[in-house]
Structure 1
Amino acid sequence: MPEQYLEPNQARTGPATPYEKKLAGALSEIFAGGTHDLPGVVAGLNGLGLNAPDGNAWDIARFRAEMRRLGE
């Protein structure tokens, strides 16, 4: 039977940057804590002190834009 799950890095064009690793770790921590809604994720990132790439606090628009950029 073929593997049913995606390889976690199959779409990457290169190794993850330190920023991407930090963001992934923060998101994993937030999800592990039981938060799965967008406002909660944004609040969780801000609560962990991880700023958006522009140096400002996260908001929903910044989070969506960054996820879109990282998914390209």
Structure 2
Amino acid sequence: MMERYLEPHQARLRPPTQYESLLGDSIERAFAQGIVELPGLIAYLNQAGPGPQVGTAWTEQNFCQEMARLGQ
């Protein structure tokens, strides 16, 4: 049986922007602290940053929209 592996960047079309890297790092720090529910994550991002590219604060709605945009 062939051993399976995961190449985490196999679908990446370009390197991440600085904003994407900062946002990903902040989300990882929140997860490391046990924050796994959306309201807690939104509160963490509003405190720790980075802020959203549009608007002044994260909301559940603009966070979900941003994740959908970044996932394209």
- Residue 61 of structure 1 is matched in structure 2 by 61
- Residue 3 of structure 1 is matched in structure 2 by 4
- Residue 35 of structure 1 is matched in structure 2 by 35
Name segments (4+ residues, structure 1) moved above 4 Å.
none
- Which structure 2 segments of 5+ residues have no match? none
- Residue 19 of structure 1 is matched in structure 2 by 19
- Residue 70 of structure 1 is matched in structure 2 by 70
Q: What displacement does 1:48 show?
A: 0.2
Q: TM-score, normalised by structure 2?
A: 0.89
Q: TM-score, normalised by structure 1?
A: 0.89
Amino acid at match of 2:35: T
Within 1, Cα distance between the matches of 2:67 and 2:49? 18
The percent of aligned pairs where both chains have the same amino acid is 44
Aligned length: 71
**Aligned residues of 2:23 and 2:49 also touching (Cα < 8 A):** no
Within 1, Cα distance between the matches of 2:52 and 2:9? 22
Q: Tell which has more relative contact order, 1 or 2 (C-alpha 8 A, sep 6+).
A: 2
Q: What displacement does 1:55 show?
A: 4.1
Q: Which structure has the greater CA radius of gyration? A: 2
